[in-house]
Amino acid sequence: MSISVNTMRAIDHWVGVPLCAVASPIVALIDGIKNLFNRDEGTPRKLLFIELSEMGSAILVDPAMRNAQARGAELFFLIFKSNRASLTLLNTVKPENIFTIDSSSLGGLIKDTIKFLIVARRHQIDTVIDLELFSRFTALLTGLCGARRRVGYHIFHGEGLWRGFMLTRQVHYNPHIHITKNFLSLIHAAFAKEIEVPFSKIHIADSEVRLEQAIIDPLVLNQLRERIEKISASAGIEFTQGKQRLILVNPNASDLLPQRRWAQQRFSELIQSLNQRYPNDLILITGSPAEFEYVEKVRAVANIKNALNFAGQVSFAELPPLYTLSDVMVTNDSGPGHFSAVTPLRTVVLFGPETPALYGSVGKSISITANLACSPCVSAANHRKTPCHDNVCMQAITVPQVLEKMVHQLNEADQERAR
């Protein structure tokens, strides 16, 4: 039986706090003994990133990883097994340097955790960067993995999620700058010659926040193009790639924060409006295989011939080719908004309980948010768990608002493609 998000939060709190309290003095004692024999930590050579639960963050951290790589560090990464595929979009970390933890069961979680702590020492990891925002589990992994230099976010004098004293380099998490800049500040702390309290006392220019583009295999691109045209033909739709527009609609969001979902009815109405304006274009409603029924409800209510249920029709590895073939995508604030940033695809991303100022896509994206007084209601300080069960912030976003931004992005795509 898989572990629910709320169960993992509860374990992190009720088990994580006492474990951090017990582990902190032990880790401090080991550090003290090591410093007696050798105070010089050296320069990061084997650098491990820990980011377990957010697939989108594996994309947003890429500028930071390439920064560390350019400084000469060999990169390693620890992530939940179910999210591993997100690291294959850009392949910044070598496959053999990716460690995974199976979160589908408590037994698997414990087994893989112990295995990781052994493997990290075997690889002689000297530096670890905890990318998670105050998770006690990752704090314990950071403190116990054997690395001498341990970098991450620390609460200092704030009220919030205490997670012990596992870090040798404590970074101030800044809730007023984009998460990619926060990740870059961790790299500065890892390579800094002098200790700062707090890290990082630097200016991070906007020019540093840029993503590499995914390398698309022309063969895969052509195969996917043919598959889309074949599926369209079987549905009685005349579609030729490049001649008509290809519009993606991604209506779901992960169970991690269901409050991010725009209503299914709104997506159906948007599809109807898009078809009315662009009657000859193809609309693919996307999602994972598990989201097929959710997507089907959106398609059935829209009842548009040129709108197809495309959930489960492409593998994760085929997302960059799909995004490359497409003209625009509308999506809730979820993984696809970030995955598409490694391609030329233009997107419209809908935000509610989180803010685009912190988590906006760094691709060719337009964010829409209602800017309610209560938003954003999730943050690092509340374990990204909100008491809200009535997401007015998403309900306040109207179909005409989204359609306007979609039309803008499609006009821009038309110019780029000289159509």
What tens digit of pLDDT does each residue of 327-375 get?
999 999 999 999 999 999 999 999 999 999 999 999 999 999 999 999 9
CA pair distance 242, 260, nearest whole angstrom: 32
Query: Residue 190: enclosing H or E segment and its boundaries?
Result: helix 179-191
5-208 shares its CATH topology with 218-416:
yes
Sheet bearing 346-351, strands edge to edge: 307-309, 282-285, 246-250, 328-332, 346-351, 364-369
Q: Which residues of 30-58 are buried (b: 16+ CB within 10 A; e: fewer)?
A: ebeeeeeeeeeeeebebbbbbbbbbbbbb
Closest CA relative to residue 263, chosen from 392, 142, 84:
392
The pTM of this model reads: 0.93
Tokens of 84: 């591993």
What gap in Å lies between CA 396 and CA 369, rounded to an integer? 9
Q: Is the peptide bond before 198 cis (omega within 30 degrees of 0)?
A: yes
Domain boundaries, the chain: 5-208, 218-416
* CB-based contact 163:123 (threshold 8 Å): no
Q: Supply the pLDDT for residue 13.
A: 87
Residues 59-115: tens digit of each pLDDT: 999 999 999 999 999 999 999 999 999 999 999 999 999 999 999 898 999 999 999
* Residue 182 Cα distances to 189, 211, 406, angstroms: 11, 15, 30
Superfamily, domain 5-208: Glycogen Phosphorylase B; (3.40.50.2000)
What dihedral angle (degrees, nearest 10) is formed by the CA atoms of 5, 136, 76, 385? 40
User: Which long-range contacts link 81-86 to residues 24+ away (Cβ below 8 Å)?
Assistant: 81/112, 83/52, 83/53, 83/54, 83/55, 83/58, 85/55, 85/316, 85/317, 86/55, 86/56, 86/58, 86/59, 86/316, 86/335, 86/339
Distance between CA 17 and CA 247 in Å, rounded?
47
How far is Cα 270 from Cα 263, in angstroms, rounded to an integer? 11
Find out whether 90 and 65 touch, Cβ atoms under 8 Å: no
Could you report the average pLDDT of every consecutive run of 10 residues in the chain (419 residues)? 75 91 94 83 93 91 97 97 95 97 92 97 97 92 96 87 92 94 97 95 94 94 95 93 93 85 97 97 96 97 97 95 98 95 97 94 96 90 85 97 98 90
pLDDT of residue 382: 80
d(CA 74, CA 188): 16
Write the Ramachandran bin of 161: left for phi over 0, alpha for psi from -120 to 50, otherwise beta. beta
Q: Which fold has domain 218-416?
A: Rossmann fold (3.40.50)
Identify any residues that bridge with 350 across adjacent strands, giving them in sequence order. Answer: 332, 368
Query: Burial level of 258, CB count in 10 A (0-12/13-18/19+)?
Result: middle
- The CA distance from 392 to 374, in Å, is 10
Distance CA 66, CA 208 (A): 11
Structure tokens at 128: 């670890």
Which phi and psi (to 5°) does residue 235 adopt? Answer: -95, 5
Neighbours of 100 (CB within 10 A): 18
- pLDDT at 2 (0 to 100): 61
Joined tokens for residue 387? 């008491």
